Amino acid sequence: MRARTIRLCLAVVVICCWAYAAANAQTASGTINATLINKSGISLVFNSNPSGVPLSGAGSYAATLDFGTVAMYGTTAAAGATLTRTSTDFTLTSPFNIRVDKSGTTSNSYRLQAAMAAPAGVYTCKVDGITLPTTLTTIVANDPGYGADVPHTLSLTIPASAPAGALTLTINFTATSN
Amino acid sequence: MKKLTLCLIALALLLPAAALAQSGITANGQLTITANVQSSIALTFKDGGQGTLTVNGADPTQATIALGNVSGAMTSSSTNATVTTSGGNLVITSPFVLSVTGTNTPTTDYKLVASASAPVGTEKIFFGATEITTSGTTFNTVTYGDTTYSLNLQVPLSQGPGAITRTVALTATTN
């Protein structure tokens, strides 16, 4: 009787050990916690205006508008640009588009500001008729045009006395949600 | 306890709304403008004070000087040009102004080449004392701005009567 009890106990222990091993050898578990913080944000990109000079880098926040080879006399402006003259300078003008998108905010308008990245020297850059200094200047105080191309006009005035050669100017734009 | 719970629930509801209405979020972009500025030069005509020059339409780069009807017995033509006789020639004179502007160039002067069309007879055209030939006469250094020239048409007295039309093509090039 005693030996039978011992065998029974041993059998139970073996079964338990096997069951334990089977249950633990092939199981792995883990936990991952994903946290999403939906923050408010707006984005600004430049797009070509169908009536203006095509932008390189259109659709991005860093684009280039190339007026090409220009002269006060004897040349025609690049496609999409217009050339006007006074007795002392000439001006190249082209429309371009800015698109501002929003997410996670109920703002229904934005303020658009612009500034020259560096002093323009003898040249004059204007956006929508506003001369740009090197400090941010408001172009539009309350633009409701989120999510759509908003046309603006860029003009570059070159004095007749300016030296010939390559010209590069950079304008920084900032859109701020109202 | 119940009021405190309600306040907490209300606060919890308001916080996301306040976050959504947040203003002052900014986005930046950079637009680069490029151009290649080249020197250029423009040439226009103006009347020299006798009223003989007429700019052709809206294009000031083309003009006509009408010297009018002349004969050896006149001292001025029907259009107020000066008429003299000299060395067997009838000399009809009228001033005109050539206005040349140079832009985006460090130079202060230009080269002018004037070429006359073929003569009707044996008449000659002069700018001042310099004959303008059919092969081209060069004025090497002319300062930008207005320059007054005296256009002289010298017609030999031996040349028969008739209309004379001559064209002078002018080309200005920056020095």
In this structure, what token pair is assigned to residue A36? 């999403």
Say whether residue B103 is in contact with chain A using an 8 A CB cutoff. yes
* Contact: A61, B27; criterion CB under 8 Å: yes
In the stretch 34-53 of chain A, residues with CB closer than 8 A to chain B read 40-46
Q: A161, A162, A155, A170: which is closest to A77 by C-alpha?
A: A155
Q: ipTM value, please give it.
A: 0.79
| Interior angle at CA A152, CA A149 and CA A157, nearest 5 | 150
The pLDDT score that the predictor gives to residue A165 is 96
| Nearest CA-CA partner of A162 in A82, A94, A88, A92 | A88
Q: B 36-55 residues with CB below 8 A of A?
A: 36-42
Q: Where are the beta strands (DSSP E) in A104-132?
A: 110-116, 124-127, 130-131
Closest CA to A171 of A128, A110, A108, A109: A128
Distance CA A108, CA B102 (A): 51
Helix, coil or strand: residue A145: coil
Half-sphere exposure of B127 (CA within 13 A, CB side): 20
- pLDDT value at position A158? 97
CA of B56 to nearest chain A CA: how many angstroms apart? 19
A67 and B35 within 8 Å at the Cβ level: the answer is yes
At A157, the amino acid letter reads T
Pairing of strands A124-127, A130-131: antiparallel
State the pLDDT at residue A24: 54
Residues 145-174 of A with CB under 8 A from B: 154, 156, 158, 160-174
Largest Cα–Cα distance of chain A, in whole Å?
A: 126
Phi, psi of B73 (to 5 degrees): -90, -5
Q: What is the pLDDT of residue A9?
A: 53
Rounded to the nearest angstrom, the gap between the alpha carbon of residue B109 and the centroid of all alpha carbons in its chain is 15
pLDDT band at A138 (very low <50, low <70, confident <90, very high): very high
B173, B111 Cβ separation under 8 angstroms: yes
d(CA A77, CA B7): 66
Between the alpha carbon of residue A55 and those of residues A167, B31, B40, B165, the distances in Å are: 16, 9, 26, 52
Does B31 contact A at CB distance below 8 Å?
Answer: yes
Average per-residue pLDDT for chain A: 88
pLDDT above 70 (res A130): yes
Rounded average pLDDT over A6-12? 59
pTM above 0.80, yes or no: no
**What is the structure's pLDDT at B71?**
86
Give the tens place of pLDDT for each residue, A63-115: 999 999 999 998 889 999 999 999 899 999 999 999 999 998 999 999 999 99
pLDDT along chain B (175 residues), means of 10: 52 46 86 97 91 86 93 86 93 95 94 95 94 96 96 93 94 93
What is the rounded distance in angstroms from the CA atom of residue A122 to the CA atom of residue A159? 7
Position B51 scores a pLDDT of: 85
Query: CA nearest A19: which of A11, A31, A7, A28?
Result: A11
Type and span of the H or E element at B18: helix B2-20
